[in-house]
Amino acid sequence: MKYNNIFLSTLTASAIASTLLPASAMAEMPSIDLYGRIDLGFESYNDSDGVGAHIFAGQQSDNGNLDEQDIGVSNGNHSRLGVKGSTTLDTGVVLGYQYELLADVLNHGGAPTTRQAWLSMAKGKHSLKVGTQDNPLYDYSAWNAQKSEVHGYGAYYYTTCDLPGSLQCTFRTESTVNYTYGSGGYGRDPFTVTAALHFNGDGRNTNGDTTKDNVSGVTGATIAGAATFDNVTVNAAYQTSIVSEGDDYDSSTSGDLPAPSIISLGGKYFATDDLEVGFFYHMLDKDVDEDDTKTAFALSGTYQLNSKMSLHAGYGAGEDDDDMARQLDSNVYAQLIYATSESSHIRLEVEQVSYSSDNDALEGDANIVLVSLRQDF
């Protein structure tokens, strides 16, 4: 039985830990916090021009959603089940863990996948985290201005989807080692910084030509930081792909493997306890010979209307040096949340993207409307 194997593995790991750690460093079993979420939505998608590349209708839903459908059912915010906890050693070091599964609750046969899976070690303002975890590029940039639950990330996707592997279009990165000083990108410490290495996560499409594989063990790196002055936070981040060609790769005919990277600048202003505004600016270097730059920005506000309702709305745009590529003329998005209890809410999300291009096939508009129900436990 699978559960018996898991139980035996846990006992084995505990025995190894007891052997390796000296008695003075041992602590009680870590705390166990079991939690979860069911988030279901009804989604209407309009993309008659066939250009909605950065909206991702029906994401994380096996049944998906198409322009031809009148309506779809969405699992876009990832219904999930997880466990997390921590324990404190006699030395003051805090050991933490989190294991979270993403579940497609719309498909009774759908297998869960890993959403978060990491171990951490922290003391004071220093922390080290290893595993699948939040992407620091998002934490220190897009979180300033794009806080919607599912839709409202067109400007963020416009640049980040050009990165390879687990860095691509993502809010989390796999196989990552992350060192953080301070509270990280979501916090408001006077100063915080994060440095991360991403392993074996390139996954670029080589059309079956294995000589073009990236054979580097470390396939990406991120450095990000933020400073807070009273009610203003400014932040910056740099994320890059790291490549290494194999022995059979012929750079004389194919050139060097591209290693795209993104520089981000941004900030947040907490105008009142109920009103926050923020922005970010991305500049992508595609690391190609021509038309190698792509930029995007977003500006938004989040307002707590009353004890039960909050509004988030923003605007973004982007530009590509390649005139034949999509130019993101506008990305408009909004979200309204009504809390039905301390652990549940009803949510309305809307997003629209408009593109222009010297390639007529890439021009047009797309929009999406999502109404969701959530229950946390």
Range in 97-111, 112-126, 264-278 the model is least confident about: 97-111
Query: Rounded to the nearest 5 degrees, what angle is found at the Cα of 210, between the Cα atoms of 204 and 213?
Result: 40
Cβ–Cβ under 8 Å, residues 344 and 375: yes
Higher pLDDT, 22 or 122: 122
308 DSSP assignment: S
The contacts of residue 145 (CB under 8 Å, 6+ apart) are: 266, 278, 279, 280, 298, 299, 300, 314, 316
Q: What is the pLDDT of residue 97?
A: 99
Amino acid at the residue 299: L
Over residues 234-261, mean pLDDT: 87
Find out whether 132 and 118 touch, Cβ atoms under 8 Å. yes
Look at residue 246 and tell me whether its pLDDT is greater than 90.
Answer: no
In percent, the amount of the chain with pLDDT more than 90 equals 71
Spell out the domain ranges in the chain. Answer: 31-376
Structure tokens at 32: 């166990």
Average pLDDT over residues 155-165: 94
How confident is the model over 58-111, as pLDDT tens digits?
776 666 677 777 788 888 888 999 999 999 999 999 999 999 999 888 876 677
Chain mean pLDDT for the chain: 89
Q: What is the pLDDT of residues 278-308, one digit of tens each?
A: 999 999 999 998 999 999 999 999 999 999 9
203 has a pLDDT exceeding 90: no
Q: What is the pLDDT of residue 126?
A: 98
pTM as predicted: 0.88
Tell me the C-alpha to C-alpha distance, in Å, between residue 278 and each of 150, 233, 241, 267: 18, 9, 27, 6
At 25, is the pLDDT very low, low, confident or very high (cuts 50, 70, 90)? Answer: low
- In tens, the pLDDT along 308-364 reads 999 999 999 999 999 999 999 999 999 999 999 999 999 999 999 999 999 999 999
Q: Which architecture does CATH list for 31-376?
A: Beta Barrel (2.40)
For residue 11, what are its two tokens? 């006992």
Q: Is the pLDDT of residue 375 over 70?
A: yes
pLDDT interval class at 128 (50, 70, 90): very high
First to last CA, the chain: 28
Q: What is the mean pLDDT of residues 129-146?
A: 96
**Is 50 exceeded by the pLDDT of residue 14?**
no
CB within 8 Å of 226: residues ≥ 6 apart: 140, 185, 187, 189, 191, 192, 193, 233, 234, 235, 236
